[in-house]
Every structure is written in structure tokens, then in C-alpha cells.
Amino acid sequence: MDIVTQFKQSAQKTILALKEDLKSIRTGRATPALVENLQITTYNGTTTLKLKEIAGITTEGSQTLVITPYDASTVGDIEKGILTSAMGLTPASQGSRILVRIPPLSQEQREKFIKIAGQMVEEKRVAVRGLRDENRRKVKTQFEQKTITEDAKFRLEKEIDSASTEIMEEIDSVKDSKEKEIREV
């Protein structure tokens, strides 16, 4: 596999990771991704699991999440985990299931979440630039070891830069999409 293909694959993984990270940001609309990765300490503090590992998470309308624990004894632990998270959500127990109403975001919260999204995006941009630089160094090393010609070196560097630009545009597109989602009332 050539250097450019490796770079593109690594950069695509970075974009997928960004999309996963952005799912955890509240938008005012209920979505299971909002809480599925919350760490819940359960079974008398002996086990810490992700919420999606101990409960089914569905939506009821556009503002409510329904959490159905696989084990009814974990209802209290799940409620506590949601309350203590930094998400500002309040769970309401209804027998063996938990309802979490997603309140509308204030303008201040929207701006805060847009800023957090921007930080996540910038981390991924830095990662892609690091990948680009690493692959350009590989090309330079191959040229210095005389395994590729000077023409091939310039061609590969140009392809890496071009792919990097495409990836950055895709990252910007993902960011713009998330910002639009957060700003929606």
C-alpha cells in the first residue's frame, strides 16, 4: 500500500472519530448517542460500564429519551450516573424504565457547545496535519535512500497535500453541519 493511500485511510479514521465525538454534544434534540457512552458505576460500585452496555436507549418524540435497563436492579445506578454527568439532564424513573427529557438549549448553552465542538474539530485538524507531516517525512526519507526519484517525491508530496486539503474540507463540513444542528431551535 502506498503512502498516499495510508494517509487517506488514517485521515478517514480521524474523521470518523470526530463524528463519534460530536455525537456526544447536546443539540436540544433527543438522541441515544447523547448518553450511550456515559460511564455508570453499578453493582454496589464494583463495575463501571457504558450505559449502552447495561440498558436499551430509545427516543420517544423529539425531546425524550427512554432508557430500559437490562437488569432492573441498576435503575438507581443509572439515574445517579445521569444526574452526576456534566450534561445537566434530569432522569425520571417510571418503574423499570427511566425517562430523560432533553430541555431546550439556551443561547448561552448553544454557544458553549459550539465552542466545545470547535475544540474537538481543532484537535482532529492537528491530528491530520501531524499525519500529513509524518507521511511527507516518509517520502523525503525514501528519496534520500534513493528508493524513489525526485519526480516521484514531488508527485507524492503534492498528492499528500491535495488529500490533506480534501480531508480538512470534509472536517469543516462536519463542523458546519454540527454547528447548524446546535443552532436549530
Q: Angle between the 3-23 and 107-144 helix axes, to the nearest 10 degrees?
A: 170
CB 52, CB 36: distance < 8 Å: yes
Pick the CATH number of 3-23+106-183 from 3.60.15.10, 2.70.70.10, 1.10.357.10, 1.10.132.20: 1.10.132.20
What pLDDT is attached to residue 185? 66
What pLDDT is attached to residue 25? 83
27-41 pLDDT, tens per residue?
A: 778 888 888 888 898
148-171 pLDDT, tens per residue?
A: 899 999 999 999 999 999 999 999
Q: Does domain 32-101 have CATH number 3.30.1360.40?
A: yes
Tell me the C-alpha distance between 96 and 13, whole Å: 38
What pLDDT is attached to residue 1? 62
What pLDDT is attached to residue 151? 93
CB 97, CB 68: distance < 8 Å: yes
**The pLDDT of residue 131 is above 80:** yes
Q: What are phi and psi of 82, to 5 degrees?
A: -70, -45
Location of each CATH 3.30.1360.40 domain in the chain = 32-101
Q: What is the mean pLDDT of residues 54-77?
A: 90
Location of each CATH 1.10.132.20 domain in the chain = 3-23+106-183
Helix %, strand %, coil % for the chain, to 5?
60, 15, 25
**The pLDDT of residue 61 is above 80:** yes
What pLDDT is attached to residue 89? 84
